[in-house]
Structure 1
Amino acid sequence: MSYLALERLTKAYGSVLAVDALDLTVVRGEFISLLGPSGCGKTTTLQMIAGFVEPTSGRAMLDGTDLFGVRPNKRGLGVVFQSYALFPHVTVAENVAFGLEMRGVPRAEREQRVKQTLDLVGLTGMADRYPRRMSGGQQQRVALARALVIQPAILLLDEPLSNLDAKLREEMQTELRTIQRSVGTTTILVTHDQGEAMALSDRIVIMNKGRVEQIARPDEAYARPASAFVANFLGKTNVLSAKVVNEGNRQVVDMAGFRLPVPNRSLSGAVTVTVRPERIAFVDDPAPGVQGRVHTRVFQGTHWLFHIETELGALIVLRQNDGVAVPSEGENVRLAWGENDLLIATSGAM
């Protein structure tokens, strides 16, 4: 049963559709990420759920109630903004208690819930500190505590980790997911960071130009992207021109002479193929494959990144740093991949 249902949700600014007929169902306790480039409509979608932006059309149903008939401050939603929006001249405890005061929660209960929530987000003993004297990660925790303390029906996160440095952002991702699982709050995150979305989410909603390209589990979206846009946006990928031809009683995709069976598809003529860099292997002659020459190789700690010139164009290849010798720059190599590593579509569809 869906807990939150967005039905044909649309927002137009004149002739420009910021969000175009978006459909999404979220189950209770789920962690959903709205992922996409700037201008794709993800933040506008979040703001319509929160009540900060009025939709042009469509509905948002929360546990059977139409949210668009409810004022923003009555929707029972917790929001964490990118800027945190903390009050700098009052203490952490007073910041966190603000929403409870607005709801008329008695003082004794307020103090108990504030303490419990500060403990939850790892701020034990910091109730009397002022935000301006805290690190960015600590301020982010205060903002999260302020949103959680009201026990929201849904927690809305608008790129809350984007102001943190890379190491702290990774640490906070782990903390955020742990907190969300322990509390069980239904959560919707807006982010442009693919790694963040894949690390945190039960499902990802990948958006482009106001429309949904794919809704899937992170591993599903990465392994079987629904479009070339998704394949390119979720990590590195190689986009190749190829053609489908008949070979006896089967169809094969021909990539500069390297042929593989077409997996469970009926296509013909020119196609576009995408293949992930980590799915490409170095093979020895005379194994089937594509000839190439290493243009550059870059050591990135856990793996090597290669740029290789081939008849198909420049290919990106990732090779794990497992202690095995890797090709040098300028070296001729042979590359291959399997039929199940391909995403194939007609040229027009890509």
Structure 2
Amino acid sequence: MAYLELEGVAKQFGAQTVVDDFSLAVGKGEFVSFLGPSGCGKTTTLQMIAGFLDPTRGAIRLQGKDLTAIHPAKRGLGIVFQSYALFPHMTAAENVAFGLEMRNVPRGERTERVRAALAMVGLAGYEDRHPRRMSGGQQQRVALARALVIKPSVLLLDEPLSNLDAKLREEMQIELRQIQRTIGTTTILVTHDQNEAMSLSDRIVVMSQGRIEQIGTPQETYEKPASAFVSQFLGKTNDFAATIDRTSAPGRLIVGSWSAPAPVGRSGPVTISIRPERIDFGDAGLSAKIVTRIFQGNHWLFQCESECGPATVIRQNDGRSQPVEGEAVHLTWRPEDMSVRGVA
């Protein structure tokens, strides 16, 4: 049995369907991210799990128990909002203790749990500091400690790192993942940041226009995108029109002057996707010309114009000579490094 299960969940506001036919089974201790652009329904789905919104239809179950009739405060969930929502007149310790007070936890136990929670997020010694005297990263840690101190059955994170600068955000991603791994709390993260979802998640739910486009591990969704939307949204990619010709066994997948054995069960026009770092320059392959060459430290970024359209290539700065702008090249890749979409 799934620990947290959403079955056929939908949400409508009047005639507008914001979430449609959302089904997901989350295992105990799993870290799952809802990833998609603004307006795709990811926050609405999180709010239905939290109980702030009622689903129009469908079921939400936690350990087999229907949540839809349970008040948000009684669901036992921990929530960290984008704004952190700390009480400005309370110290860090008082903010963290608030949920325990509402649950009538005895003072002695409350004090010890608050101390342990703040230490867990690296804020030992900050118990008496008010939010206005804390940095954005420190406030984020207080909000996380407040959510975790109640020992929630599920931790819900609504873009909690979006207000941080890039360096601090990356540091907090590492800390958040370590904390989640240590305590083993089932976690749902809402984010529009592809790198954040891939860094933190056991699985990613990619959403678009209220529907699920793909569910998979970060590696699966990145390397084998199930749709054009996933391919384009989750990092840089190259999409080429191709044809599978089965006039002779076993058939060939043809992309301009590049070809390979055809995948099983497909024929006719298809689209292939290859990530830029999976393409290299070789003696044969797709004919192209280097339009732009950009040095980016540990790698080179090439913008090419190929016989099948624009192409992006990322090549490691590993001591090899690199082609220059205007140079004719051939693009090549391994068949296993591309994904194929189209006619079956």
Q: TM-score, normalised by structure 1?
A: 0.96
Segment of structure 1 superposing worse, 296-305 or 110-119: 296-305
Match for 2:274: what amino acid?
A: V
CA distance in 1, matches of 2:162, 2:177: 16
2:181 matched residue in structure 1? 181
Give matches, 1:139-150, under 5 Å: 139-150=139-150
1:236 matched residue in structure 2? 236
Structure 2 regions of 5+ residues with no counterpart? none
CA distance in 1, matches of 2:217, 2:324: 37
CA distance in 1, matches of 2:235, 2:69: 40
1:49 matched residue in structure 2? 49
CA distance in 1, matches of 2:65, 2:187: 18
1:332 matched residue in structure 2? 328
Match of 1:305, SS?
A: strand
Match for 1:221: what amino acid?
A: T
1:13 matched residue in structure 2? 13
The alignment covers a number of residue pairs equal to: 344
Compute the displacement of 1:247 (Å).
5.3
Q: Deviations over 1:150-206 (max 9, x none)?
A: 111100000000011111111000000100111111100000111111110111111
CA distance in 2, matches of 1:345, 1:68: 38
CA distance in 1, matches of 2:296, 2:43: 33
CA distance in 1, matches of 2:6, 2:246: 45
CA distance in 2, matches of 1:195, 1:320: 19
1:322 matched residue in structure 2? 318
Match for 2:273: what amino acid?
A: T
2:294 matched residue in structure 1? 298
Compute the displacement of 1:258 (Å).
1.8
Is the 1:262–1:339 Cα contact (8 Å) retained in structure 2? Answer: no
CA distance in 1, matches of 2:13, 2:267: 39
Is the 1:263–1:339 Cα contact (8 Å) retained in structure 2? Answer: no
CA distance in 2, matches of 1:49, 1:7: 12
Query: % of aligned pairs identical?
Result: 61
Match of 1:229, SS?
A: helix
CA distance in 2, matches of 1:13, 1:43: 14
1:277 matched residue in structure 2? 276
CA distance in 2, matches of 1:250, 1:264: 9
Is the 2:244–2:266 Cα contact (8 Å) retained in structure 1? Answer: no
Could you say what the CA RMSD is over the residues aligned between the two structures, in angstroms? 1.3
Compute the displacement of 1:257 (Å).
2.4
Compute the displacement of 1:96 (Å).
0.5
Q: Deviations over 1:204-243 (max 9, x none)?
A: 1111111111111111111211112111111110111122
CA distance in 1, matches of 2:320, 2:247: 37
Compute the displacement of 1:3 (Å).
0.6
Is the 1:263–1:340 Cα contact (8 Å) retained in structure 2? Answer: no
1:80 matched residue in structure 2? 80
CA distance in 2, matches of 1:63, 1:51: 16
CA distance in 1, matches of 2:49, 2:249: 53
1:59 matched residue in structure 2? 59
Compute the displacement of 1:248 (Å).
2.6
CA distance in 1, matches of 2:57, 2:169: 36
CA distance in 1, matches of 2:183, 2:246: 56
Match for 2:83: what amino acid?
A: S
CA distance in 2, matches of 1:195, 1:247: 42
CA distance in 2, matches of 1:257, 1:301: 32
Structure 1 regions of 5+ residues with no counterpart? none
Q: TM-score, normalised by structure 2?
A: 0.97
